[in-house]
Amino acid sequence: MLKKFAFTLAEVLITLGVIGVVSAITIPNLMTAYKAHQLRSQFLKSYSTIQQVFKHMQADEVPTDPDSYPRNQGIIFYKTFKNYLNSTLDCGAGLSFTTKTCYTPQTKLKYKTLNKSTNIANTYFDDGQLVLLDGTLLIFEQPNVPSNPYIWIFVDINGAETPPNILGYDLFAFEFLDNELRAMGSQGTSFTHEQYCSLSSSSQLNGIACAGKAKNDADYFKWIVKNVK
C-alpha cells in the first residue's frame, strides 16, 4: 500500500514565513530599481529631445548664443525653439495660462528644492513653456539682464501634474553655454557647487545642479528614489 506524504501545518507556516521575509527584502529593491530605471529613461529621452533641437538649430545656422536673444528687446527664445518641435502645446509666457498641463502659480504640486524644504520661485518659470506629446514639460528661463544673458531649459520629465515635482528628481535644468547644451552642474555651467545638489543644503535652488550627475552617473536615480521620499 502506497504511503501518502503531506506537509504539516508547521512546515507550511515556516515556508510561508520564509517567503514573506524574502519578499519583504526583495520587493522594495525591485520597486526602487524599476522606478529608477523609469526616471532615467525619461530623463535621457528628454535630454536627447532638446539636444536634437539644439543640433538642428546649429545646422540651420540659427544662433544658439544667449547674446543673440536679448529679452529686454522682446526677443523670446522659446518661440524659436518651438519651431523645431512637432505637435507641442504652447503654454505661452508670463504664467497667465490656465491649461492644467502647464505650470502656473496656482498649480497644486509646487516645484520644490531637492530636500523639499523650499518652493522654487515662480520667476524661473515665466519665459515660456511647451508641453510635448509624451507629457514632458519644457520651461524656459531667459532673464531680462543685458549684462549677464543666459538661457536655461527646465525639463519636467513626467509633466507638471505628476508628482513629486522636485528639482533634481523629476525636474532638471540645462544651459546654453559656449554654443553647447550642457546639463546644469557640468563644468562651466552657472551652478556646480555641491550645495546645489545636496539633501542637506538649504539653498533656494538646491537640486538645480543635479542634471549633470543624472546624465553621467548611471546609479543617480537609484540614489534619488532611495533617499528622497
For 18-46, write each residue's pLDDT tens digit. 666 655 566 567 677 889 999 999 999 99
Question: Rounded to whole angstroms, how far apart are CA atoms 171 and 42?
Answer: 11
Decide if 220 is inside a domain: yes
Residue where the block lists cell 497667465? 96
Specify the higher pLDDT residue, 16 or 131. Answer: 131
What is the rounded average pLDDT of the residues 96-109? 85
Decide if 3 is inside a domain: no
Whether the Cβ atoms of residue 149 and residue 175 lie closer than 8 Å to each other: no
- The yes-or-no verdict on residue 138 having pLDDT over 70 is yes
- The yes-or-no verdict on residue 15 having pLDDT over 90 is no
Most confident of 5-9, 66-70, 141-145, 212-216: 212-216
Minimum mean pLDDT range among 11-15, 68-72, 89-93: 11-15
Give the range of the structural domain holding residue 83, as residue numbers without chain letter: 10-227
Average predicted confidence (pLDDT) for the chain? 88
Whether the Cβ atoms of residue 215 and residue 47 lie closer than 8 Å to each other: yes
The model scores a pTM over 0.85: yes
User: Residue 30 has what pLDDT?
Assistant: 67
Decide if 5 is inside a domain: no
User: Residue 216 has what pLDDT?
Assistant: 95
Decide if 171 is inside a domain: yes
Question: Rounded to whole angstroms, how far apart are CA atoms 64 and 78?
Answer: 12
User: Residue 229 has what pLDDT?
Assistant: 82
Decide if 1 is inside a domain: no
Residue where the block lists cell 505637435? 87
pLDDT band for position 86 (cuts 50, 70, 90): confident
- The yes-or-no verdict on residue 50 having pLDDT over 80 is yes
Decide if 2 is inside a domain: no
Decide if 4 is inside a domain: no
Decide if 180 is inside a domain: yes
User: Residue 143 has what pLDDT?
Assistant: 85
Share of the chain above pLDDT 70, in %: 87
**In total, how many domains does the chain have?**
1
